[in-house]
C-alpha cells in the first residue's frame, strides 16, 4: 500500500526504459546540434543563439511529453479524430498559402508560430486509424468498413502531403501498413497492398530514369504541382558525374551527400571526439538532415551503434507495452507511434550513409527543429501514457 502511494506521488510515470531512451536522445541532440551549428553561428556571429534556441525547444518538448503522459490514453481517440479533420484543412491550406523552404512549400505561419501541417497529419492519421481498426471489427478482425474508412482517409491525406513532401507520405504509408499487419488485417488484402506498393515504387524508378532532362527543366521552372518532380528524379537517379580522377570531383555540386561521406570516411572508426567535426562547416543541413553523419564523424562506429541501438530499444520497449495492453486501441497506438519514430530514424540514417536517396527527413529527437521535435515528443508522451494508464492483461497486472 505504501509503495502504491509513493508511486502516485512521483512526477513521472510509465515505462522507465522509454524515459531513459528519450532523455538520452535529447542529451545527444544538445551535444551534436551545438557542434553541427557552426555554419549558423559563423553567419550570424551569435555563437550561443542556435544552441540556446534548440535547448529551449528541447525543454519545451520534454515538458510536452511529460504533460501528454499524464493524459489517460482513451482521450487520444477524441484528440486524434479532431486532429484528423483539422490536419486535412491545414494540408489544403498549405497548398494555397504555404511558405517555401528549400523549394518545398511545407510550412504555415501564424504570427510568430511556424509549423508543418504534415507533422500534425502524421500523428492524427496514425491515432485515427488505430481507433477505427480497433473499434470496427468482426469475427475475422478489422471489418471491411474499417478498412474502407482508413483507406479513404489515408489516400486523401497522403495525396495532399505527397506533392510537397513525398518522403513523409512514404513513411506514413509504411507505418499504416505496419499497423494493419499488427491489427491482423486479412492477409489477401495485405498481399495486395504489398503488390500495389511494389509496382508503384517500380513505376516511380522507371519514370525517373526514362523522363527527358528537358522536360524536367521545364517543370523545375514552373510553379505548378510538378515543380518538385525534378528534385525527386535527381535524388533517385543521382546523376552527379564522377570523374575518373578523384581530384577532379566537385563536391560542391552535391555538398550534403559528398561531405557526409567524407565525414564518415574520416571518422577512423573511433571518431574525432565531440565537437571536433570538420565536415560540419561544409554540410548545409549538418544540424538537421545529416546530423547522423556528424555523429559518426565525432563519436565513431560506437556512437553510430549507440544511437541506432537507442531507437531499437524504443521499438522493443513499445512492443512490450503493446503486448501487455488489454484493449486493442492502446496496443495499436503504441505500435503505430513507435513505428513512426523508428522508420523515420532508419530512413534518416540510411540517407546519411548514402544507402537511400536524400529525403529531408530529420533524425527524431536528435535533429534541430521545431514542429518535428514537438510532435515526436508528443509521440513519446502518448506511448508513456499507454504504458501506465491502459488496462493490462491479467497475466501482466502486477508488472
Please write the tens of the pLDDT for every residue from 56-88.
999 999 999 999 999 999 999 999 999 999 999
Q: How far is CA 50 from CA 33, 35, 56, in A?
A: 8, 10, 10
320, 326, 317, 322: which is closest to 393 by C-alpha? 326
Distance (Å, whole) CA 168 – CA 338: 16
Distance (Å, whole) CA 73 – CA 13: 13
pLDDT the model gives residue 399: 64
Could you please report the per-residue DSSP string of 233-277?
A: HHHHH------SSGGG--GGGSHHHHHHHHHHHTTTTT-S-TT--
Could you please report the per-residue DSSP string of 89-106?
A: HHHHHHHHHPEEETTEEE
Full-model pTM: 0.87
Please write the tens of the pLDDT for every residue from 103-132.
555 667 666 667 788 889 999 999 999 999
Distance (Å, whole) CA 392 – CA 399: 9
Please write the tens of the pLDDT for every residue from 277-323.
888 777 777 777 888 989 999 998 999 999 999 999 999 999 999 99
Q: Are 33 and 368 in contact (CB under 8 A)?
A: yes
Amino acid at each position: 500500500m505504501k509503495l502504491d502511494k509513493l508511486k502516485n506521488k512521483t512526477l513521472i510515470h510509465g515505462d522507465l526504459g522509454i524515459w531513459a531512451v528519450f532523455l538520452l536522445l535529447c542529451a545527444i541532440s544538445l551535444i551534436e546540434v551545438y557542434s553541427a551549428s557552426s555554419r549558423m553561428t559563423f553567419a550570424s556571429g551569435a555563437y550561443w543563439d542556435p544552441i540556446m534556441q534548440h535547448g529551449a525547444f528541447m525543454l519545451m518538448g520534454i515538458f510536452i511529453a511529460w504533460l501528454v503522459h499524464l493524459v489517460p490514453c482513451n482521450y487520444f481517440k477524441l484528440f486524434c479524430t479532431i486532429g484528423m479533420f483539422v490536419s486535412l484543412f491545414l494540408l489544403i491550406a498549405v497548398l494555397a498559402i504555404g511558405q517555401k523552404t528549400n523549394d518545398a512549400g511545407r510550412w504555415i505561419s501564424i504570427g510568430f508560430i511556424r509549423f508543418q501541417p504534415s507533422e500534425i497529419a502524421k500523428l492524427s492519421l496514425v491515432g485515427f486509424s488505430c481507433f477505427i481498426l480497433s473499434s470496427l471489427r468482426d469475427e475475422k478482425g478489422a471489418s471491411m468498413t474499417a478498412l474502407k474508412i482508413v483507406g479513404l482517409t489515408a489516400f486523401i491525406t497522403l495525396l495532399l502531403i505527397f506533392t510537397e513532401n513525398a518522403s513523409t507520405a512514404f513513411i506514413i504509408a509504411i507505418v499504416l501498413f505496419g499497423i494493419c499487419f499488427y491489427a491482423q488485417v486479412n492477409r489477401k488484402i495485405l498481399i495486395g497492398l504489398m503488390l500495389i506498393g511494389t509496382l508503384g515504387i517500380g513505376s516511380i524508378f522507371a519514370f525517373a530514369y526514362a523522363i527527358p532532362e528537358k522536360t524536367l527543366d521545364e517543370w523545375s521552372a514552373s510553379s505548378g504541382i510538378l515543380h518538385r518532380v525534378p528534385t525527386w528524379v535527381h535524388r533517385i537517379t543521382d546523376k552527379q558525374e564522377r570523374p575518373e580522377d578523384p581530384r577532379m570531383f566537385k563536391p560542391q555540386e552535391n555538398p550534403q551527400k559528398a561531405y557526409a561521406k567524407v565525414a564518415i570516411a574520416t571518422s577512423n572508426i573511433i571518431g574525432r571526439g565531440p565537437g571536433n567535426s570538420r565536415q560540419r562547416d561544409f554540410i548545409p543541413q549538418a544540424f538537421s538532415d545529416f546530423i547522423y553523419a556528424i555523429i559518426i564523424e565525432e563519436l565513431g562506429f560506437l556512437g553510430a551503434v549507440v544511437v541506432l541501438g537507442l531507437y531499437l530499444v524504443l521499438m522493443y520497449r513499445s512492443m512490450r507495452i503493446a503486448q501487455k495492453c488489454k484493449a486493442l486501441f492502446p496496443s495499436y497506438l503504441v505500435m503505430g507511434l513507435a513505428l513512426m519514430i523508428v522508420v523515420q530514424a532508419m530512413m534518416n540514417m540510411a540517407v546519411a550513409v548514402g544507402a537511400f536517396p536524400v529525403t529531408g527527413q530529420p533524425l527524431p529527437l536528435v535533429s534541430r527543429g521545431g514542429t518535428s521535435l514537438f510532435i515526436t515528443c508528443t509521440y513519446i508522451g502518448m506511448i508513456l501514457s499507454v504504458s501506465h494508464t491502459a488496462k493490462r492483461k491479467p497475466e501482466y497486472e502486477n508488472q
